Amino acid sequence: MSATLVYVLLGGSLLVAAALPQLLTRYALSAPIVLVGLGVLIGLLPATDTVSVDPVALRPWIEHLTEVAVLVALMGVGLALDRPLRPRLRASWATWSPTWRLLGVAMPLTIAGVAAIAWGPLGVALPAAVLLGAVLAPTDPVLASDVQVGGPLQGEPDQESDEEQHEDEVRFALTSEAGLNDGLAFPFVYAAIFLAAGPPDGGVWRWLGWELVGKVVVGVLVGVALGWVLARLAFRAPSPKLRFAVVGQPILALAALLLAYGLAEAAHGYGFLAVFACAVTIRSVERQDIYHQHMHEVVERLEILLTLVLLLGLGFAFTTGLLARLDWRGVVVGLALVFVVRPLAGYLSFVGHRSRAGVAGLRRRERLVIGFFGVRGVGSLYYLAYAAGTASFTEERWMWSTVAFTVALSVVVHGVLATPAMRWLDATREREPEPTSP
């Protein structure tokens, strides 16, 4: 395929991507579906007959491209959340209770469920089964825009009715979950790596104390500290010339992203968590300032561009070799995750969830929607590329095909159902009884 044709295809696809959000607002069809479809069509062109996509050979490229996309999405998600998290206030922690339940219950159950299905009835080797559970459990901050909050200053309680707050509760839960579980999946990815390559010095205690706890703490502390410094520089620097909010320079968001990730990784913490924590901390200062919107817009535009490239590439790869090793076992894993494991784990995570002071409980329908819409995407591809580059897995090519199929299934199913589901919540919310625990 000639370079000229590549320019034409990328330019045309970018034009389509720019028009899609406006064209699809009334239809139950998401932009990711169309972009993946365009990639498939490009892969079917006669000019691409000689092109073959080998994920093993392209693993470093896949790892770095998906890594950047996830980082940009995490910064955008952190800036978009209007709900504050004030560590010293117990009531503030309570307002994030749906997030903690999804992270503490739904995510481990999803990892265990996928791993058990793959290892037990499907006969996948234990390291590969655990890795599948770890890479497919996190929800995706890149492809889940249809069920996430809209952006900064769009969901403050004093700006919306009680009815709108119920919908925001669903979107907030899915958005905050996607922001945090990408980093929290890493300990389980390392568990799979240790199973494949052998445990490090200290064995399980090393994993529990450092991979599961230590790196999480380091990542969060680095992100919070950097966010605090940058927020005060942007809004309260002694010199007005250094106040980015006054100068109107939103590039601070990208600087924060790179610094948070780099510093956390240098300190051997989880960089994904640091980026999200940094964004949330910056957002906590001068919450009503329009500068947060300006930063979010810059990040959002970069995210759109990266998503375009990745989704086109994913669709292209579907027809040029990425699904070559897909078999019935991979189909079972994907179907089980999307339709059984995640919905059930998500719903169970809200058992006993009650309305508290200042915290609305979740209605049954809202729990069903939150449980079902665990969108899988770019993050899963990154974790698989990272793990496969760190240790040797005997079924790596099969895992690539399985994860790619699952991502495609999630893009189609969740993309088609997202708009109807949100409309369903709107239409039924007034008739739903007050939320109580099951």
Q: For the residues of 101-147, what is the DSSP string, one character each?
A: HIIIIIHHHHHHHHHHHHHTTT---HHHHHHHHHHHSSPPSSS-GGG
pLDDT at 155: 59
Residue 129: phi and psi, rounded to 5, are -65, -45
pLDDT at 60: 95
Question: Mapping DSSP to helix (H, G, I), strand (E, B) and coil, where does residue 356 land?
Answer: strand
Q: Please say whether the dihedral angle defined by the alpha carbons of residues 236, 242, 244 and 248, taken in this order, is positive or negative.
A: positive
* Domains detected in the chain: 30-44+55-428 (1.20.1530.20)
Angle (nearest 5°) at CA 342 between 340 and 344: 60
pLDDT at 356: 54
Query: Could you tell me the mean pLDDT of each successive run of 10 residues in the chain, 438 residues long?
Result: 79 76 69 87 82 90 95 94 83 87 95 97 96 94 74 59 53 90 92 88 84 95 96 90 85 95 97 96 89 93 89 91 94 97 94 59 85 90 96 94 96 87 77 54
pLDDT at 62: 95
pLDDT at 28: 65
pLDDT at 95: 85
Q: Cα(81)–Cα(69) distance, rounded to whole angstroms?
A: 19
Contacting residues for 143 by C-beta, under 8 A, at least 6 apart: 32, 307, 311, 375, 377, 378, 410, 411
Residue 85 corresponds to which tokens in the numbers above? 């998290």
pLDDT at 161: 44
Contacting residues for 116 by C-beta, under 8 A, at least 6 apart: 129
Residue closest to 386 by CA, chosen among 196, 214, 209, 212: 196
Residue closest to 303 by CA, chosen among 149, 19, 75, 58: 75
- Looking at the DSSP bridge assignments, the partners of residue 356 are 359
CB contact at 8 A, 338 and 410 = yes
pLDDT at 150: 76
User: What is the CB neighbour count within 10 angstroms for residue 394?
Assistant: 12
N residues, the chain: 438
- Looking at the DSSP bridge assignments, the partners of residue 359 are 356
pLDDT at 167: 41
User: What is the CB neighbour count within 10 angstroms for residue 429?
Assistant: 16
For 366-400, how does the pLDDT look when each residue is reduced to its tens digit (9 = 90+)? 899 999 988 888 999 999 999 999 999 989 999 99
Locate tokens 């590329």: which residue?
385
